[in-house]
Amino acid sequence: MPKPAVSVFQYPRTATEMPCGPYAKAGVIVETNAGWRISRPVIAAARCVRCQQCWLICPDGAIDRTGESYAVDYNFCKGCGLCARECPAKAITMAKEDGQGE
């Protein structure tokens, strides 16, 4: 697996320059988390109100915000469920991983 690109942090001079949400996109950690996950978040796009709570709360930055849509990078999601608990529209549900039993 390739090492992530190094980005130099520039300390913000004003409040508007402060980063909001994850500082880096998903995929910048060196190792994946998916191997020990027992459940995964599934986003129902039709129910999503684009409040950004899932994107802001994800401890691994595994939720990618592209325009008006959100997607989970399952290679880096550890299945903690914080996104599902914080979603005010209940647009995120946790599904069992394949092979984990029903």
Q: Which of the pair, 25 or 12, is modelled with greater confidence? A: 12
Burial class (CB in 10 A: 0-12, 13-18, 19+), 70: buried
pTM: 0.66
Q: What confidence score (pLDDT) does residue 101 get?
A: 46
Q: Which of the pair, 25 or 11, is modelled with greater confidence? A: 11
Closest CA to 43 of 63, 22, 21: 63
**Alpha-helical runs (H) found in 1-102:** 53-57, 82-86
- The predicted model gives 8-31 an average pLDDT of 65
Whether pLDDT at 97 is above 90: no
Residue 29 has phi, psi (to 5 degrees) of -80, 155
Structure-block tokens of residue 83: 């996104």
CATH of domain 15-96: 3.30.70.20
Taking all residues of the chain, what is their mean pLDDT, rounded to a whole number?
80
Whether pLDDT at 31 is above 90: no
